Structure 1
Amino acid sequence: MTSKKTTGASAAASSASAASEPARRRTTSRKSPIKKSTAARHVAIEDLPTEEIWAHYSQARAEKNVQDIEAIRNILMERHFPLVKYIAERLLQTLPKSIELDDLVSAGLFGLMDAIRGFDLDRGIKFKTYCTTRIRGSILDQLRSQDWVPRLVRLKASKIDKALQRLTGRFGREPTHSELARELEMDHQELSIELQSASAKAMYSLSDKWEDRDDDSSMEKVDVLEDKKSIDPLGVLNRDDMMGFLTRSLTHKERFIIEQYYQVGHTMREIGEMLNLTESRVCQIHSNVMGRLKSLFGTKQNTMLM
């Protein structure tokens, strides 16, 4: 009697177990999604050869998948950043020593972004060939369009000017060369070099002539220099608008990069170390911000940040 009950109970348990097995399988299958997460797919794409990354990018554009387009474009930017830096370094060799590599790299990244957006994989042209001209052209356009006074020169000139103001307030007169050198913790020769560099910010000779084609007369550039004491209302409005944009529209990371680069004077690599980002990623974020500023405020937006 007991054995029959045991046998019956075992059979019932087996039957219940068998009945619940499909449910367990269904529950398990629900916990294991077939598709990988977007982040996982992007990590996998990042490890692929460049040609395959381009294939994924073309597919994302065909499907109009905005999230994938942006993510894969960032991967392509990282992959081709060394080329931007190489082109910038080559150009830097032909330019005045006062111009900084980081500024050229940032300009070159605009060209790289345009090249990525405009590249057609089906044309059979190598991307390196296609983008090299765009990168170089973007750097040259920036050099031509900007009132190119390097950031470091501006920072040093500002430092000297502040020291002059402090000492003038302290002594009730303009400081001597020795007093200024001591305040800035420089020797006489070093201060002379810095003063010469700061005074060369105008970047042109005051004795150059402007030609007036209407009456064949000419005047020297010194005659048409702006009055530094006068206020340019449009410039003030543009700067106020830009400061509002920086406050309202940028993320904390974007604002930090802009402040550290233009106000403090850190390099892209140094900022990357602070944020635990690669140098190329910092350059890319900077270029994205500058592109937005350029569309709103024109080509001289970086001089307004200094």
Structure 2
Amino acid sequence: MIITEDSMPATATADDPILKVWTSFKSTTKDSPDYEPLRNQLVERYMQLVRYNGERIWQRLPDGVELDDLISAGMFGLMDAIDAYDTERGVKFETFCVPRIRGAMLDELRKMDWVPRLVRSKASKLATATKTLEARFGRAPTVQELSAHMEIDIKEVEKMQSEANAVGVVSLNKKWYETDSYKDVREIDILEDKKGEDPTRRVQKNDLMRLVTKGLNRNERLIIILYYYEELTMKEIGATLDLSESRVSQMHTAIVNRLQQQLGVRRLEFGA
């Protein structure tokens, strides 16, 4: 069964019984007889998040990766998130747990090392050709232009783009930021994944993001990407980076002011 966004568990409301489960769970210790039953209730409530995110990642992968393996790894990520979640932080559990779930799945993929060397080589050649044509045209190249430049069929280019996208799933599995309360924030967790999105449009969007955030440190990049690309609130970003909401707001204002000052210098890069 394919899980859709409509079938995802709803965010807890004030009268949701799950809130009582959270309260009881956070007041117990691991050696308490109530610990496992309460955690199991929470796992059951949020396990659809694991399947949903597992299917989103799995759909981008070539044959040879079992969905069940991703889901099994994601369940460990969910349990880690349940243990680490602070109900007093004011951040939705769904927002908090998804990076841990996906991070656990990506760790499993990395351990499997499922990407063939030939696929990695093709992805590298495609990236080189894309950058060369971008420099020549001042924009992202079309499939036809890549085909002519690389002297291969259009269908082969499209296949390489699909495989390169799968390689990117693991290459994006790098840590961006780590705190005691929210560990292993990874690049893939802050990039939007739209299945079926036009590859050229996706490349252009990612290139624009890299251009805008060039010269920023990791925290600054995260603030910009999470706020403008993932549409998180300042409060949610603060919880992710273990910073106060006011501090995130101050940093955001400073970053925007700096980017505005640099915009004139970067006009040529935007093709203006």
Taking structure 2 as the reference length, what is the TM-score of the superposition? 0.36
When you count helix as a share of all residues, which structure comes out higher? 1
